[in-house]
């Protein structure tokens, strides 16, 4: 079952070939992210450099007031605030206001730069000089509710300038869907408290952080609190003064971490999954551990390569994480390093005798889609679509798709009376967080059929009433799609499907190969079923009762980092069901209503059925089941 190919380093330690491939792919991805990315002209695209804001990106003019006015006018409206190339100087925190136009702001905001490397929001020197009074360049909301939906910060650099020891680059908040993508966070010596702060409010997430780089700061990335889970992929940390990544209680999934530091790369006491990591220490790192797990934290490490540290992992069971800096901790099998093939802080749970190691299903990168020249875009509004969702836009959508364009631009919200078929030359559909058929669920809205391109991508739609149907064996990428039913027809058997930052209801896989990063399913009853397919998930968050994953008909399922927020009906069904299939899950549960899952696992193997009730399965429900 485990078919990974490994190479050996000079010390004879086994290092996954996939890890090395990841680093090369990550570097390639970062170079791609630096390309210019612009939108066609549309009322929903707010270019901050144009009137009425006229923010000058010359690095000299203070544009704080202009940018704040742009945020005040456009947050929560399914608009994108677009920053052309330049350096935008600010002298106080930019905020996403709690209220917009006399109503609560529930999110639905995107901030995006033209070029990650040359589009910079920079803090004026000597602005946040007092460590006891920290401040951020950009504060993205959050007000004690987990209903701040579909927020995005992408393709930007945040520079905290000089003489700002109390500066935080970005305080980001989003629920169910939302992401920080292709961003850099930079602090000069003597400046910078936290690069990316996800710990400033409770209930932050689920959300995704992908292709991000943090240079400097006391702490590179900070996470905290017990809900709602956060997923990270391709993260570069370097030059932090205290900790690279600091997790205080959150449910975290990380793949592709690169750290170059004198301090520990990661400290955690929540539930953490870390795979495919390269951690390099220098200077005083030789007296420190690379990773610290403390205060009863739960930890899964896989394919973690370290160099220059005293040990790979200090697993400290007391709240005294400072003791771990003195390289204390239990010498549990596989924890010392320097390279960790696979280490789990908890004993695996299975109704039948099973291998406890993960199956290492093949991991494929989400295909990179180049940004088309604007002359190859078709704006559905130009073909007669109504962006206010008042009149029917079905015919206009189909005309735009059949126009020969390769990118379909969906800037507003729309009503469709029947299915729109994605075919022909179209290979990408780009929204701005708008909605299709809000509150209407009678018809499939978007039907993905055969076409000229081998792959088709749908991205940035906050609601798709009626859902999305895949009726092709083409590769399909769904990125930042919220509240949409996703269905596969028989013709889609064997198709490669990539889900990135997707919210859906009950999802059924029928022979597809699925790779998901930050998948959120919220319904009561069966959440996710894999019948004979291959399913790999990095970060799976659920709500309400019902089986969270059922694997049948020889299917293969691997969940690396998961979280059940059990808000209703924990006794409704087993958490996991396995029928003669191959399953591995690393999962956590939080329940505040006194009704958690009663049965963790129900498994049938060659006709015999066994279950694992709560209290018999350890602290993590299902860590380790590999059918041979």
Quick one: tokens of 146? 């987990």
Structural contact between residues 176 and 482, judged by C-beta atoms closer than 8 angstroms: yes
Written as six digits, the tokens of 218 are 């006391």
**pLDDT at site 514:** 98
How far, in Å, CA of 286 to CA of 308, rounded?
5
Query: Is the per-residue pLDDT at 608 higher than 90?
Result: yes
Q: pLDDT tens, 107-129? A: 889 999 999 999 999 999 999 99
pLDDT-derived band at 446 (thresholds 50, 70, 90) equals: very high
The burial of 552, by beta-carbon neighbours within 10 Å (0-12 exposed, 13-18 middle, 19 or more buried), is given as middle
User: Which residues span the domain enclosing 586?
Assistant: 505-623
Whether residue 576 lies inside any domain: the answer is yes
**3 state SS for 112-137:** EECCCCCEEEEECCCCCCCCCCCEEE
Quick check: 361 pLDDT over 50? yes
Mean pLDDT calculated for residue range 145-149: 84
Please spell the DSSP secondary structure of 432-451, one letter per residue: EEEEESTT--SS-SEEEEEE
Which sign, positive or negative, has the C-alpha torsion 593, 598, 603, 607?
Answer: negative
Q: How confident is the model at residue 36 (pLDDT cuts 50, 70, 90)?
A: confident
Q: Contact 268/290 with Cβ under 8 angstroms?
A: no
Q: Which of 254, 218, 251, 258 is nearest to 237 (CA)?
A: 258
What's the pLDDT score for residue 620? 52
Mean pLDDT for the stretch of residues 318-333? 71
Q: How high is the pLDDT of residue 324?
A: 67
How confident is the model at residue 120, as a pLDDT?
98
Model confidence at 27, in pLDDT bands (50, 70, 90)?
very low
Tens digit of each residue's pLDDT (9 = 90 or more) over 234-245: 999 999 999 999
Mean pLDDT value across the chain: 89
Q: Tell me the pairing of strands 149-154 and 207-215.
A: unpaired
Residue 320 lies in a domain: no
Identify whether 240 is part of a domain.
yes
Q: Reduce the secondary structure of 195-261 to three states and give it as a string.
A: EEECCCCCCCCCEEEEEEEEECCCEEEEEECCCCCEEEEEEEEECCCCEEEEEECCEEEEEEEEEEE
Q: What is the pLDDT of residues 193-222, one digit of tens each?
A: 999 999 998 899 899 999 999 999 999 999
Choose between 356 and 488: higher pLDDT.
Answer: 488
In a domain, 392, yes or no: no
pLDDT digits 0-9 by tens, 413-427: 999 999 999 999 999
pLDDT band at 145, cuts 50/70/90? confident
The percentage of the chain sitting over the pLDDT mark of 90, rounded to a whole number, equals 72
- Could you read off the pLDDT of 182-200 as tens digits, one per residue? 999 999 999 999 999 999 9
**Domain-located, residue 205:** yes
**pLDDT at position 174 over 90:** yes
Domain end position, chosen among 241, 261, 281: 261
CATH classification at residue 54: 2.160.20.10
Over residues 153-171, mean pLDDT: 97
Q: Where a domain ends, among 218, 238, 261? A: 261
Q: Please name which of 435, 453, 370 lies closest in space to residue 36, comparing C-alpha atoms.
A: 370
pLDDT tens for each residue of 523-541: 999 999 999 999 999 999 9
Choose the final residue of a domain: 261, 287, 307. 261
Residue at 288 is within a domain: no
What's the structural domain count of the chain?
A: 2
- Rounded CA separation 582/600 (Å): 16
Q: pLDDT exceeding 70 applies to what percent of the chain?
A: 90
User: What is the C-alpha separation between 200 and 196, in angstroms, rounded?
Assistant: 10
Q: Which of 18-22, 449-453, 612-616 has the lowest mean pLDDT?
A: 18-22
Residue 473 lies in a domain: no
Does residue 13 carry a pLDDT above 80? Answer: no
In a domain, 441, yes or no: no
**pLDDT at position 5:** 22
Beta strands in 282-395 (DSSP E): 289-294, 298-307, 311-316, 339-344, 377-379, 388-392
Sorting pLDDT into bands at 50, 70 and 90, what band is 12?
very low
Sheet holding 528-531, edge to edge: 507-510, 528-531, 549-552, 576-579, 599-605, 608-613
Tens digits of residue pLDDT in 45-93: 999 999 999 999 999 999 999 999 999 999 988 999 999 999 999 999 9
**Cα–Cα separations (whole angstroms), residue 65 to 52, 53, 72, 90, 353:** 12, 9, 10, 8, 64
């Amino acid at each position: 079952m485990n078919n990974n190919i490994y190479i050996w380093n000079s010390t004879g330690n086994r290092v996954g070939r996939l890890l090395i491939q990841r680093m090369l792919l990550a570097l390639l991805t970062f170079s791609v992210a630096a390309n210019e990315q612009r939108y066609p002209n549309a009322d929903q695209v707010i270019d901050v450099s144009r009137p009425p804001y006229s923010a000058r990106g010359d690095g000299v003019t203070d544009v704080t007031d202009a940018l704040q006015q742009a945020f005040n006018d456009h947050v929560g409206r399914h608009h994108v605030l677009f920053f052309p190339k330049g350096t935008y100087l600010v002298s106080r925190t930019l905020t996403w206001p709690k209220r917009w136009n006399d109503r609560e702001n529930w999110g639905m905001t995107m901030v995006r730069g033209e070029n990650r490397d040359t589009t910079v929001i920079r803090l004026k020197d000597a602005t946040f000089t007092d460590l006891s009074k920290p401040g951020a360049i950009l504060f993205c909301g959050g007000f004690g509710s987990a209903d701040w939906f579909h927020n995005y910060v992408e393709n930007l650099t945040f520079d905290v300038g000089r003489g700002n020891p109390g500066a935080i680059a970005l305080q980001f908040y989003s629920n169910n869907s939302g992401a920080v993508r292709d961003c850099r966070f930079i602090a000069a010596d003597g400046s910078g408290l936290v690069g990316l702060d996800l710990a400033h409010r409770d209930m932050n997430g689920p959300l995704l952080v992908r292709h991000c780089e943090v240079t400097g700061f006391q702490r590179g990335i900070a996470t905290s609190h017990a809900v709602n889970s956060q997923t990270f992929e391709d993260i570069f940390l370097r030059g932090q003064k205290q900790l690279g990544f600091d997790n205080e209680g959150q449910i975290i999934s990380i793949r592709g971490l690169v750290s170059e530091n004198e301090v520990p790369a990661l400290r955690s006491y929540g539930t953490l999954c870390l795979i495919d990591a390269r951690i390099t220490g220098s200077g005083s790192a030789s007296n420190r551990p690379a990773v610290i797990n403390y205060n009863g934290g739960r930890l899964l490490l896989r394919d973690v390569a370290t160099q220059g540290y005293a040990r790979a992992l200090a697993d400290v069971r007391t709240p005294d994480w400072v003791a771990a800096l003195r390289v204390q901790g239990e010498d549990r099998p596989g924890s010392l390093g320097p390279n960790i093939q696979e280490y789990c802080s908890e004993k695996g749970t299975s109704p039948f005798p099973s291998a406890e190691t993960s199956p290492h299903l093949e991991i494929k990168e989400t295909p990179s889609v180049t940004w088309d020249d604007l002359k190859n875009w078709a704006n559905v509004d130009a073909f007669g679509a109504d962006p206010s969702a008042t009149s029917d836009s079905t015919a206009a959508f189909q005309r735009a798709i059949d126009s020969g364009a390769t990118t379909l631009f969906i800037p507003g919200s729309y009503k469709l009376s029947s299915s729109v078929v994605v075919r022909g030359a179209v290979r990408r559909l780009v929204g701005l967080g708008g909605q299709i058929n809000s509150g209407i669920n009678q018809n499939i809205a978007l039907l993905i059929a055969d076409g000229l391109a081998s792959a088709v991508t749908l991205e940035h739609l906050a609601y798709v009433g009626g859902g999305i149907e895949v009726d092709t064996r083409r590769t399909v990428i769904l990125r930042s799609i919220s509240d949409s039913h996703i269905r596969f027809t028989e013709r889609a058997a064997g198709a490669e499907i990539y889900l990135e930052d997707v919210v859906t209801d009950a999802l059924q896989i029928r022979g597809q190969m699925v790779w998901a990063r930050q998948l959120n399913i919220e319904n009561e009853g069966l959440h996710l079923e894999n019948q004979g397919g291959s399913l790999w998930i990095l970060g799976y968050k659920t709500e309400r009762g019902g089986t969270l994953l059922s694997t049948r008909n020889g299917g293969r399922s691997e969940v690396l980092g998961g979280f059940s927020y059990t808000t209703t009906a924990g006794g409704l069904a087993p958490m996991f069901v396995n029928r003669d299939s191959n399953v591995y899950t690393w999962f956590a549960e939080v329940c505040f209503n006194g009704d958690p899952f009663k049965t963790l696992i129900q498994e049938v193997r060659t006709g015999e059925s066994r279950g694992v009730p709560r209290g018999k399965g350890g602290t993590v429900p299902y860590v380790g089941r590999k059918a041979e």
